[in-house]
Every structure is written in structure tokens, then in C-alpha cells.
Structure 1
């Protein structure tokens, strides 16, 4: 019988998921989605194949579970960071920074490629996690417009344009020492694009 990690079966399952997700996160960054295999994840996480398949029957279920876990943590991180900024333009700048830093951390395929790699139901589950993030952006834009800091443009036009710009990997595919400079350039671009020339100093997060 496999050794139980923690004091209960539920703690064991969570500990295994944390271990597997840590390995997957590293492999996504180092190798990319296409090169990831369940056998490779299991070996690096110190799990037998049977134990791995008991938790994640296939690569698709692993990816969906990982994205759901990461998205939940990220949405909370995003809310805390944005709520900690009083100025609405500063909130938008913080939103852009976080989105790009997360993009730099993970090597998931872009939306179209991910859609083709997953079954429709699985892709819809992953896509659903973008809704709270989009909602946060909508709130920021509305707050800035109400304060007279941005033109009162249609958010249904602005939001897809901003999110498309922040999903472009070329922005963050730079040497590590150039990443912050690239992100700050993107912040200035988005602020100008939505109708303000204001910029904000980089805020540690």
C-alpha cells in the first residue's frame, strides 16, 4: 500500500497534487506543453505510474486541474494587488504587470493551440477561469472612466484589445535581465492605448 503523506487521505491527495503541480510548473517552463508526459511527471515527482494515474488519468485532466489551481491562486493574488492601489490608473498598471509576469512564468500554448490540444469541455473549463480576470479589468476601466482619468470608451471593445496585447509571448520572451524593462514598456503602451499618457513607477509585488 502506498505511503500516506500527511495525517489523512485528503491531506495525502493534496500533498500529491502540490508535488505534481510543482514538477509540471517547472517542466512547462523548461520544455513546453507538448514535451510534458505523465510518465515524466510521475518519475520526477517520485510517484509510481499507478499512483499518478489514480490522481490524473491523462495529460488533459492534469493540465485542467493545474490551470484551475493556478487560476484560483492568481485571481486572489490579482485582487489583493489591485485593491492595494488607490489610484485607478495605478490599478490598471498593476493589472498589466501581473498579467505579463504570469505569462513569463508559464509556457502553456496560446489559446488557439490549447483549444486544439484539449477536448472542448476541458477547454471550456480552463477558459472559464478567465472570467474573474476579465471582470477585474472591467471594474478597473469603469473606475478610471468614472474618475475622469480615461475616456468613456466601450469596455467590450477595450477589454479584448488589452487582453490580446497581454497574451503576446513576444513581449516577455526576452533575457531575464530585460524582463522588467519589457514589462514597463508594455505598461506604458497599454496606458497610452486606453487614452492616458500617464505612467507609474514599478511597484514591487
Structure 2
């Protein structure tokens, strides 16, 4: 097969897959995770159901692919926050604020719990823990953050504390929570 033809087919397949995942995102935004059905996905994506089934076996498979895409996008934003200019403490503030705000937008229920059990979630959590650990180690070395507790233990503290944002709706409440988390990271006199 000529290279141009292969690239065109691959680009088409990618575009159709993205259209399906975009349709899933729209349905989720409109009615939650349970609003995603194969019929509605096909209609919203502008494709036939037979075409949809060539890409995904069922709505659960679509949701898993959508969730993987969401996590990758979130991880990219969190990595950008960690790489932002500033001190380690300032970058940690940005990263934890972004993470806590994401936690505040999580979908609940049995279906959401199922989506969070995939390998993609555990890999993302490990990557995020490394980002936080590295920032804490950098901040401890610069004497901005405490150095009496290992950075990986403090990262675990940060992650668990930031998930409390899932019970908060107001950004101001989330920002206060992050302030409390960072207060716990201050150097010990």
C-alpha cells in the first residue's frame, strides 16, 4: 500500500475515533456517565452504528477510552504546572491547586469507580506522585519545604489530602484546602 494511502487511512481512523470520544464527552457533560449508549454515540458522532462497533465493542469500552484520554490530558496539565517558572513551593502550589480542582470535578458512582480501576489510572497516579515527590525534594533542598519527612511520604500526604476537594464545589474552598496542605509542608523550625 502506498505511504500516502496508509497515512490517509490512519488519519481517518484517528479522526473517527476522536469523534466518538468527543461524542462521549458531550453525552457525559449532558447527562453523566450513564448517558452514554451506543445509539447516542453513533448519532452524536455522525457515524453508523456498524462503524461504531468496528471501533468499540460496547459503551463501556468507549468510556474506558474516553477516560484514558481524560487522564492523559489531566496529567499533561499537571506536568505543565510542575514545569512552570518559579520556586519549587510555587510550582507545587500550582500543581496541587490544579489537581484538587480536577478532583472536585470527578464523576461519582459505580461506573466511575470501574473506570478508575484501569492500569492507565495507576500509571497516572504513579507519575503524579513522582512529580510531587520531586517538587518536595527540590523545595526541601532549597529550604522552602520541610526536610524532616521523606519526600515520598509527604507526596502521599498531599495526594490524599487533595482528594478531599472532591467534596467541595467552590474554588475558594479548594484553594483554602490547598493552603492547609502547603502549610503542613512548611519547614520545621
* TM bracket, shorter-chain basis: 0.7 to 0.9
Q: Which residue of 1 aligns with 2:35?
A: 35
Give the direction of change, closer, same or farther, for the CA distance of 1:11–1:114 in structure 2 (3 Å limit). same
Q: Which residue of 1 aligns with 2:176?
A: 185
Structure 2: how far apart are the matches of 1:103 and 1:27?
20
Q: Specify which of 135, 141, 145 is matched with residue 150 of structure 1.
A: 145
- Per mean C-alpha deviation after superposition, the further-off stretch among 17-26 and 81-90 is 17-26
Matched, 1:84 2:84: yes
TM-score, with normalisation over the residues of structure 1?
Answer: 0.73
- Runs of 4+ in structure 1 off by over 6 angstroms are none
Residues 104, 167 of structure 2: 8 Å contact kept: no
The CA deviation at 1:106 is 4.8
What is the root-mean-square deviation in Å for CA atoms of aligned residues? 2.7
The CA deviation at 1:73 is 3.0
The CA deviation at 1:133 is 1.6
Instruction: Please identify which structure carries the higher helix content.
Output: 2
Matched, 1:195 2:161: no
Give unmatched runs, 5+ long, in structure 1. Answer: 1-6, 197-205
Matched, 1:130 2:118: no
Residues 23, 44 of structure 1: 8 Å contact kept: yes
**Bigger Cα Rg:** 2
Structure 2: how far apart are the matches of 1:18 and 1:105?
22
Q: Which residue of 2 aligns with 1:13?
A: 13
Q: Which residue of 1 aligns with 2:167?
A: 170
Structure 2: how far apart are the matches of 1:159 and 1:77?
18
